[in-house]
């Protein structure tokens, strides 16, 4: 499905581009919680929340809308050897790609981050700050992003008390972990994805569950040089039930020079839900 379906007017300056339903007959296909795109939006890597990944090509028409996706069969992430991650440690949620192609994956259950020189190869554990041990087991590190200097930014889906601002953790390979600022809580939206845009700003994808009303999604932008509680700008907020459970976010610049937001939905491996990719554009 491509085109203007689901294009109800959102709040924020982002303009709707397209919506595409992605299907593949493979038992590992689904549950996507992270996505990274090439600079021109033609190549992608996608991450499942059950410890698997795939990559491929995105085909677009003259208007920039997605028309088809060619992807390799999903494969399981490896642990620190050639074996796949154990099922109780395979709750992979956040995905980030460094400028040199290194891939990072964050986990929600046992809160940690793995580094991969490439998917298909063995993992390396990054050191974890002691604060990771206090994060909620079912709401830990869903959002992960890496800046142009190769520094990682992550924040939990929720806090231990379920209240207050969200701590943002930054990992600099030269100096280790720090906590530069707090991402403010606003309503019942919770952060589930993040990416750095070509403008150097940090984009954070949030979701809100409305029960039978479905999910609402929001994207807020923050200056990574913030200190204390950051100031944010909402660039996109969708209506409840407009889309599925959008969990992954990639931010890039399209051929027209606009910032493009590409969001991927987690189908929870349920027959009634679908894997969809939704795109919005921010004008220059």
Rounded Cα distance between 98 and 146, Å, is: 6
Q: Are 168 and 179 in contact (CB under 8 A)?
A: yes
Give the 3-state secondary structure of residue 144: strand
Q: Are 212 and 260 in contact (CB under 8 A)?
A: no
Flag the least confident range among 73-77, 216-220, 254-258: 254-258
**Which whole number is the average pLDDT over 277-283?**
96
Q: Identify the band that residue 212 occupies on the pLDDT scale cut at 50, 70 and 90.
A: confident
Rounded Cα distance between 188 and 211, Å, is: 13
What is the Cα 274 distance to its own chain's centre? 17
Q: Are 22 and 276 in contact (CB under 8 A)?
A: yes
Q: Identify the band that residue 7 occupies on the pLDDT scale cut at 50, 70 and 90.
A: very low
What pLDDT is attached to residue 9?
52
Rounded Cα distance between 108 and 120, Å, is: 21
Distances (CA, A) of 240 to 88, 159, 210, 274: 32, 24, 7, 16
Which DSSP string do the residues of 54-81 spell out, in sequence order? EEEEEEE-TTS-EEEEEEPPPEEPB-SS
Rounded Cα distance between 163 and 160, Å, is: 8
At residue 5, does pLDDT exceed 70? no
- Helix (H), strand (E) at residue 44: strand 43-48
Per-residue pLDDT tens over the stretch 97-128? 999 999 999 999 899 999 999 999 999 999 99
Mean pLDDT of the chain: 94
What pLDDT is attached to residue 10?
67
Query: Which residue has tokens 């923050």?
Result: 222
What pLDDT is attached to residue 219?
98
- Helix (H), strand (E) at residue 222: strand 215-222
Distances (CA, A) of 13 to 10, 234, 241: 8, 8, 20
Structure tokens at 208: 């809100």
Strands 124-125 and 143-146: unpaired
At residue 2, does pLDDT exceed 80? no
**Which whole number is the average pLDDT over 156-178?**
95
On whether the pTM is more than 0.75, the answer is: yes
Per-residue pLDDT tens over the stretch 123-142? 999 999 999 999 998 899 99
Query: Which residue has tokens 């549950």?
Result: 31
């Amino acid at each position: 499905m491509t085109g203007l379906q689901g294009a109800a007017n959102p709040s924020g300056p982002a303009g709707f581009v397209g919506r595409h339903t992605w299907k593949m007959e493979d038992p590992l296909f689904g549950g996507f919680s992270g996505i990274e795109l090439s600079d021109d939006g033609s190549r992608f890597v996608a991450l499942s929340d059950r410890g698997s990944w795939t990559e491929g090509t995105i085909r677009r028409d003259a208007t920039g809308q997605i028309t088809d996706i060619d992807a390799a069969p999903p494969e399981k992430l490896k642990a620190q050897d050639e074996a796949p991650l154990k099922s109780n440690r395979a709750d992979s949620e956040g995905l980030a790609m460094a400028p040199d192609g290194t891939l990072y994956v964050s986990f929600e259950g046992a809160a940690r981050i793995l580094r991969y020189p490439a998917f298909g190869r063995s993992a390396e554990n990054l050191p974890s700050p002691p604060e990771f041990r206090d994060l909620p087991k079912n709401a830990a590190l869903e959002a992960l992003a890496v800046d142009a200097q190769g520094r990682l930014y992550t924040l939990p889906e929720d806090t231990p008390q379920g209240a207050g601002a969200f701590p943002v953790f930054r990992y600099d390979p030269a100096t280790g972990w720090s906590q530069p600022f707090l991402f403010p809580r606003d309503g019942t939206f919770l952060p589930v994805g993040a990416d750095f845009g070509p403008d150097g700003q940090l984009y954070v994808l949030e979701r809100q569950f409305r029960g039978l009303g479905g999910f609402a999604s929001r994207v807020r932008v923050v200056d990574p040089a913030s200190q204390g509680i950051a100031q944010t700008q909402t660039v996109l907020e969708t209506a409840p039930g407009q889309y599925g459970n959008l969990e992954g976010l990639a931010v890039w610049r399209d051929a027209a020079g606009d910032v493009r937001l590409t969001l991927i939905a987690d189908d929870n491996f349920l027959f009634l839900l679908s894997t969809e990719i939704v795109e919005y554009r921010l004008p220059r």
